[in-house]
Amino acid sequence: MSVLDDIVAGVRADLAEREAALPLADVRAALADVDPPRDPMPHLRAPGSSVIAEVKRRSPSKGDLADIPDPAVLAKEYAAGGAAAISVLTEQRRFGGSLADLRAVRAAVDVPVLRKDFIVSSYQLVEARAAGADLALLIVAALSGDELRRLHDEARELGLTVLVEVHDEAETERAVELGAELVGVNARNLKTLEIHADTFGRLAPLVPDDRVKVAESGIFSRSDVERFVGEGARAVLVGEALVKDGDPQGAVRAMTGAGA
Ligand SMILES: O=C(O)c1ccccc1NCC(=O)[C@H](O)[C@H](O)COP(=O)(O)O
């Protein structure tokens, strides 16, 4: 079983428990009380490079990264450093995240918040919006063509902006055909978990320039950001480097280029 299959199997098991405890209709009912979604696209389309800063406690590739006792405190630091959006890893088993983290972050900052998870069902999208998410991640490698299209449409109907994540040429073609407005190229090979820094440069030319391209994973410095911007990225998504930095606000500021 691949790492992705293993993660998704765990996600499905946890999802079945939540669905049994709280029917979809009840989660939908909570949408009536949630803040309207924040649109990340004007900031992401503006000239310059944007940083999407991630709340990430641990990962399959690196193990424990940071305790993060209060994700709201970290998110406020990210926002003060100029993050365009905050990504919250809500997967529990392998990343140590939760929807409670997302709620806390959304309440603490004014920037849009991404639910970064392994989304395979409508239930997770409704949950995401009900918890305040403004964006949701859809990983092409985890979904069939029909699932991807249906979840993309449903996310849009909920008012969520969708970050469609790709790892290779075939997935990029699927994302482009889908009409994805925001395309994330993840440099982490999902079979080996190794980072291949040349992935963005290889796949970005396959994505039309009217889409916003995001470079994801393995980004540690302003020079990494400049490399990807030079290859067509409007934004970078950064986890490990920021959660391990003693000065997350300064680290985000430096990555945006404003700290220079
Ligand atoms: O981070 C992992 O080990 C990982 C393994 C398998 C699937 C997804 C994984 N990470 C999710 C992400 O996409 C990253 O958290 C995100 O791009 C930030 O990456 P980094 O800056 O390298 O922490």
Q: What are the tens digits of pLDDT across the range 54-87?
A: 999 999 999 999 999 999 999 999 999 999 999 9
Scanning the structure block, which residue is given the tokens 């067509």? 232
Q: Which of 75-79, 104-108, 238-242, 256-260 shows the lowest per-residue confidence on average (mean pLDDT)? A: 256-260
Copy the structure tokens of residue 167: 């790892």
CA of 254 to the centre of ligand 1 (A): 21
CB 190 within 8 A of CB 165: no
Alpha carbon distance 51, 78 (integer Å):
9
Ligand 1 close to Cβ of residue 237 (< 6 A): yes
Ligand 1 close to Cβ of residue 239 (< 6 A): yes
3-state SS string for 128-146: HHHCCCCEEEEEHHHCCHH
Which one is catalytic: 165, 171, 213, 240?
Answer: 165
Ligand 1 close to Cβ of residue 199 (< 6 A): no
Ligand 1 close to Cβ of residue 236 (< 6 A): no
| Nearest C-alpha neighbor of 200 from the set 188, 182, 181, 187 | 187
CB 43 within 8 A of CB 161: no
CA of 23 to the centre of ligand 1 (A): 30
**Which amino acid type is present at position 69?**
P
CA of 109 to the centre of ligand 1 (A): 23
- pLDDT-based confidence at residue 259 (cuts at 50, 70, 90): low
Give the predicted TM-score (pTM) of the model.
Answer: 0.97
Scanning the structure block, which residue is given the tokens 């008012």? 159
Is 54 among the residues known to form the active site? Answer: yes
Q: How does strand 235-238 pair with strand 161-166?
A: unpaired
**ipTM surpassing 0.95:** yes
Kindly report, residue by residue over 163-199, the tens digit of the pLDDT. 999 999 999 999 999 999 999 999 999 989 999 999 9
